[in-house]
């Protein structure tokens, strides 16, 4: 994550001071991001994961909120950047995924960047998610979905079974 995926996803762009991470899970990326930004707000749906990450990051610049990313509990234009790593395929269905994209656009400041990665295929990937939500994203169509949510300057690139995405909130 630290040496390959994160640098590839972020590609050295400025995240600004107030960053939101959608679906941090155990907080592997959160640990790395916390050292790079002024303030990191992590939104995690799973209560046990949110409590664990909150305890582990107590006293740092990382704040953990237990919430559903399709209904973010923040005012419009709250964040300078939004990040999402290997989470979108857990969102149950394309309509909910699109709702998440719209919510991210809503809470980003104009010009704010939304970036991340996700997996889109592979036998092992499918096996790991047996009995779990698995709504794969077609990388070639993701640009259009980001644009519909209000993003511009969109880039979607893929390698092997992983893709990265970036876009800026219009306005």
**pLDDT grade for 137, boundaries at 50, 70 and 90:** confident
> Please, are residues 169 and 110 in contact by the beta-carbon 8 Å criterion?
yes
Residue 130 has pLDDT above 70, yes or no: no
> In the numeric block, which tokens belong to residue 102?
């719209």
Which residues, 6 or more positions from 143, have their beta carbon under 8 angstroms from its beta carbon? Answer: 154, 155, 156, 165
Q: What is the DSSP letter of 86?
A: S
Which position has the higher pLDDT, 130 or 67? Answer: 67
Task: Write the CATH number of the domain with boundaries 5-168.
Answer: 3.40.50.150
Confidence at residue 161, expressed as pLDDT on a 0 to 100 scale: 81
Question: Which range among 4-13, 16-25, 34-43, 88-97 shows the weakest confidence by mean pLDDT?
Answer: 4-13
Task: Find the Cα–Cα–Cα–Cα dihedral 92, 49, 158, 19, rounded to 10°.
Answer: 110
Confidence at residue 122, expressed as pLDDT on a 0 to 100 scale: 63
pTM: 0.92
- The three-state secondary structure class of 132 is coil
Q: Is the dihedral of CA 72, 74, 20, 15 positive or negative?
A: positive
Residue 123 has pLDDT above 70, yes or no: no
122: left (phi over 0), alpha (psi -120 to 50) or beta: left
């Amino acid at each position: 994550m630290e040496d390959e995926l994160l640098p590839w996803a972020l590609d050295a762009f400025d995240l600004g001071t107030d960053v939101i991470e959608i679906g941090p899970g155990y907080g592997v990326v959160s640990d790395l991001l916390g050292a790079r930004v002024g303030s990191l707000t992590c939104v995690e749906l799973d209560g046990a994961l949110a409590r664990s990450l909150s305890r582990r990051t107590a006293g740092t610049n990382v704040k953990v909120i237990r919430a559903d990313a399709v209904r973010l509990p923040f005012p419009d234009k709250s964040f300078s950047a939004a990040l999402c790593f290997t989470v979108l395929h857990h969102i149950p269905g394309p309509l909910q995924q699109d709702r998440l994209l719209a919510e991210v656009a809503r809470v980003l400041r104009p010009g704010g960047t939304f970036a991340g990665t996700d997996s889109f295929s592979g036998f092992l990937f499918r096996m790991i998610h047996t009995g779990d939500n698995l709504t794969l994203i077609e990388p070639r169509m993701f640009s259009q979905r980001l644009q519909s949510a209000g993003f511009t300057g969109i880039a979607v690139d893929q390698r092997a079974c992983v893709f990265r995405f970036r876009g800026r909130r219009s306005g």
